Amino acid sequence: MWFKLLISLYDSGLEDPTRSGLQLIAYLDDIVVEYIQYARLVDSLYSSSTLSLDFDSAATTPERSAAHTPEPSTPQPDGVYNVPQSYVMVLGGLGYIGSHTTLELLQEGYNVLVVDDLSNSFEEVLSRITQLATIHWQAKGKKMPALQFAKMDYRTTAMHQLLSDYTAAGSSISGVIHFAAFKSVSESIAHPLAYYRNNVSGLIDLLILLEEFDIKNFVFSSSATVYGAKSNLGKPLRERDLVHFDEMVQNDDGVVETNLNGALGLTCPYGRTKYFAEAILADLAKASPSMRITALRYFNPVGCHSTGILREDPRQKPTNLFPVVASVVQGKQQQLEVFGSDWDTRDGTAVRDFIHVVDLAKGHIAAVRAASSPERHDAFRTYNLGTGNGMTVAEVIASFEAAAKRTVPAVRGPRREGDVGSCVAATDRAESELGWRATRTVDDCARDCWTALTLNQQ
Ligand code: UD1
């Protein structure tokens, strides 16, 4: 019964705006222990859907080693041959956004091959994804699609072996979603070469590999950071605010003018890696028009799965707003420092477009789908994934306080290096071409984070 209640909450109730988040949390508090027990049972019954391959290639992050990319050990692809036909390969599929996307793919009926070196994630996430996907399909009376896992650094030669094995088995990789990049602004300033090596060189080698295996559908995790100084113009950012080839566009006054390619005012090496990566992808697409490359420009992904079972769970110390607020709410950190209260915004704190990670994950499924539709003609296309609604840092804090029914101690400090005052998405391109839009609010994000924190404390 509790299980059915969870299914109904998860599939519909949690999205019902008439229910308060606090009521839902109360429900979840009561049922979550029973739920986990049930999910574990279901998982053991259906564990044959999940195959885990340990290629044992040591993970490298800038923190562990800025200069060493290890060679992989020999892959052990036992069991790979007994698999279905077509997979979406998710690089970095156990990380924050990757895990939520992997779950959404499974729920949409895709077989998924996750490649992750666990450098900033945990293998346990695989069973959490399996639990949630199994429950989803169980409710429909069906078995979940296949979920396979290869523990490896996507930059090692083991990747070639993996793709060869799948090809030899008659399976195909219908698309690749690439999350396996470094993402810390401050770390990129301290270790720029490590960022360029993974986010740029790693990408180039990956693309050469995909070319060899004739994989055309490629979804790339880009960032609103590529808009650089344009963020501060006080208008929602449009995809055409950063292009990689000059194009003729009609400006806001109806005059046709040349929109010059290139970025201005990028604030950090991390941002530059995203810009370079997009430019490389655009060049590749021009040379190979049959490619279907989609660069998704994320705004500020926050929140977690509504059950709290999947959440942001990095190995590295987080510096982004939501995880820092969470750490203050839990008492792990004494107070939040608000970076800047003199921005030209409604309360002086910076404005961001916070997008719920489940909405973001759904955006990837829309991108994979649209790229394989006959209506898609461009070899390279960029889309903003945001809500179109800006929220200030102070509003986020208030939202978290309401969800947790606790005060978040905060002090106002100076602006942080590399920050912009405002960054909000124009969402019309994603809506019209991908048929996707975000539906969740910052309150939903705060509520789900709080659910995850409560769950974690049990
Ligand atoms: C940055 C990057 C973005 C990247 C994201 C994920 C830029 C311009 N943006 O987003 O591309 O995808 O990180 O790593 O490079 N804040 C505080 N106190 C804190 C933490 C944050 O006040 O302790 C404020 C920040 O100053 C900012 C807002 O909260 O105004 C959001 O910060 P954060 O969550 O770190 O994301 P961004 O800097 O917007």
User: If you search the block for the tokens 């100076």, which residue do you land on?
Assistant: 414
Give, using CA atoms, the residue closest to atom 25 of ligand 1. 339
Which pLDDT score is estimated for 52? 59
Nearest atom within ligand 1 for CA of residue 298: 12
Which pLDDT score is estimated for 146? 95
Which of left, alpha, beta for 214 (phi over 0: left; psi -120 to 50: alpha)? left
DSSP 433: I
Q: Do residues 357 and 326 touch, judged by C-beta distance below 8 A?
A: no
Ligand 1 centre from 399 Cα, in Å? 17
Q: Do residues 416 and 422 touch, judged by C-beta distance below 8 A?
A: no
Residue of 270, 275, 298, 383 with catalytic role: 270
How do 247-250 and 256-259 pair as beta strands?
Answer: antiparallel
Ligand 1 centre from 247 Cα, in Å? 31
Nearest atom within ligand 1 for CA of residue 396: 29
Q: The pTM is what?
A: 0.85
Measured CA to CA, the distance from residue 36 to residue 108 in angstroms comes to 23
Which pLDDT score is estimated for 458? 62
Give, using CA atoms, the residue closest to atom 26 of ligand 1. 339
Ligand 1 centre from 451 Cα, in Å? 23
Which pLDDT score is estimated for 14? 46
**207-221, pLDDT tens digit by residue?**
999 999 999 999 999
Which residues make beta-bridge pairs with 249? 257
**377-413, pLDDT tens digit by residue?**
999 999 999 999 999 999 999 999 999 999 999 999 9
Measured CA to CA, the distance from residue 169 to residue 84 in angstroms comes to 9
Give, using CA atoms, the residue closest to atom 8 of ligand 1. 225
DSSP 363: H
Residue 270: active-site member: yes
Ligand 1 centre from 446 Cα, in Å? 16
Ligand 1 centre from 123 Cα, in Å? 27
How confident is the prediction along the chain (458 residues), in pLDDT tens digits per residue? 344 444 444 544 444 443 444 344 434 443 443 344 334 333 333 333 556 554 433 223 333 322 222 222 233 344 344 555 899 999 999 999 999 999 999 999 999 999 999 998 999 999 999 999 999 999 999 999 999 999 999 999 999 999 999 999 899 999 999 999 999 988 999 999 999 999 999 999 999 999 999 999 999 999 999 999 998 888 999 999 999 999 999 888 899 999 999 999 998 999 999 999 999 999 999 999 999 999 999 999 999 999 999 998 877 787 899 999 999 988 889 999 999 999 999 999 999 999 999 999 999 999 999 999 999 999 999 999 999 999 999 999 999 999 999 999 999 999 998 788 999 999 999 999 999 999 999 999 999 999 999 987 76
DSSP-derived 3-state class of residue 400 = helix
Best mutation site among 320, 322, 336, 357 for ligand 1 pocket (most ligand atoms within 8 Å of CB): 320
Give, using CA atoms, the residue closest to atom 11 of ligand 1. 225
Ligand 1 centre from 89 Cα, in Å? 29
Give the HSE-up count for residue 143: Cα atoms under 13 Å, Cβ half-sphere.
10
User: Both tokens of residue 319?
Assistant: 């510096």
How do 410-413 and 336-339 pair as beta strands?
Answer: parallel
Measured CA to CA, the distance from residue 428 to residue 435 in angstroms comes to 10
Q: Single out the residue of 217, 283, 216 nearest to residue 245, CA to CA.
A: 283
Report the residue count for the chain. Answer: 458
Ligand 1 neighbours, Cβ below 6 Å, are 183, 185, 223-225, 267-268, 271, 298, 300, 319-321, 324, 336-339, 350, 352, 393, 416, 418-420
Which pLDDT score is estimated for 233? 84
User: Both tokens of residue 379?
Assistant: 């070899």
DSSP string spanning 12-32?
TGGG-TTS-HHHHHHHHHHHH
Which pLDDT score is estimated for 355? 98
